[in-house]
Amino acid sequence: MKLAFIVDPLDEFKLEKDTTYAIMLEAAARGHALYALQQHDLAWHKLNVTGYAARLHLTGETSAWYRLDPPVETPLEQFDAVLMRKDPPFDMEYVYSTYLLEIAERRGAKIYNRPQAIRDYNEKMAIARFAEFTAPTLVTRRAALLHGFLQEHGDIILKPLDGMGGTSVFRVRVGDPNVNVIVETLTGNGQRTIMAQRYIPEISAGDKRVLVIGGEPVPFCLARIPKAGETRGNLAAGGTGVARQLTARDRAIAETLGPHLAAAGLLLVGLDVIGDYLTEVNVTSPTCFREITQQTGFNVSSMLLNSLEKLV
């Protein structure tokens, strides 16, 4: 197959933990042709969506790990599949890219994850679709509601709806002298909508990344355990990743959501589960393949390629 990857700059990849690189390695090992492009390489040109895509060759080295042929403007439907692997932030440029990809889809391009589904499943708000699995949650920009939620639950998490990697996530308890300024800062004095969730003490055992591929759960998750003195388990915030088998609850959540996610065109999803509660549904560029594979021997990239090959 000819596979096009829409990615961040290749020189920014951290090979030891980069999921996109792991997928590329598996695809190349199966003989598939790889192409790379970035968001700015997409264009609606002469009534068609094209990408200035460069053939990508993996060298097997750790420093100069790739070689690129000169980019060629190519209609996206000429690829067997296009994998959208651009990291957040999910800003308007990201939204514009999904519009372009959706036009390409109508001309026959196969895009994963599906652009409309990426827009529809905001990574924080998507849990509202599956409220039976969530902890008490509030979404608002009204300070009075946020203060009331804090008084009701005593210990809460506040976070923006468009962050990643634990950015701007705050734990707030009743009596915290900084609560007013935290609420004002996160909401921009009432101009931005944020999420509040009841604090889940089981975060000490890890914020679990449960991967769902083609509607089916990967049998292992990665528990991201916060470092000492930290609330956030995100690896980007210094958390330690420990692979574990799914619990019965993890599997129940993943198996319930899986068919809905697959039907929406979401080939790869990363569910965040703390204790028994679903906290996020990650659809832009879910990670943790490398850590799970290295610690368990289960080849997550192979599961993804198996699913992708069946689809296309």
To the query of whether residue 272 is one of the catalytic residues in this protein, the response is yes
d(CA 240, CA 238): 7
To the query of whether residue 159 is one of the catalytic residues in this protein, the response is yes
Phi, psi of 110 (to 5 degrees): -105, 110
d(CA 270, CA 121): 12
Q: Which of 85, 114, 124, 290 is catalytic?
A: 124
DSSP 164: -
To the query of whether residue 162 is one of the catalytic residues in this protein, the response is no
Find the angle CA(279)-CA(290)-CA(15) to the nearest 5 degrees.
115
To the query of whether residue 85 is one of the catalytic residues in this protein, the response is no
To the query of whether residue 290 is one of the catalytic residues in this protein, the response is no
Amino acid at 43: A
Q: Which of 26, 232, 290, 291 is catalytic?
A: 232
DSSP 24: H
Contact yes or no for 5/35 (Cβ under 8 A)? yes
Q: Which of 77, 224, 234, 291 is catalytic?
A: 224
To the query of whether residue 208 is one of the catalytic residues in this protein, the response is no
d(CA 55, CA 14): 20
Phi, psi of 91 (to 5 degrees): -100, -170
Q: Which of 159, 198, 208, 290 is catalytic?
A: 159
Contact yes or no for 174/151 (Cβ under 8 A)? yes
To the query of whether residue 171 is one of the catalytic residues in this protein, the response is no
Q: Which of 86, 114, 209, 290 is catalytic?
A: 209
Q: Which of 26, 77, 272, 291 is catalytic?
A: 272
d(CA 128, CA 133): 9
Amino acid at 277: Y
d(CA 216, CA 307): 10
Q: Which of 123, 207, 280, 291 is catalytic?
A: 280
Q: Which of 77, 105, 198, 282 is catalytic?
A: 282
Q: Assign residue 30 a region (left: φ > 0; alpha: ψ between -120 and 50; beta: otherwise).
A: alpha
To the query of whether residue 120 is one of the catalytic residues in this protein, the response is no
Annotated catalytic residues are: 124, 159, 209, 224, 232, 272, 280, 282
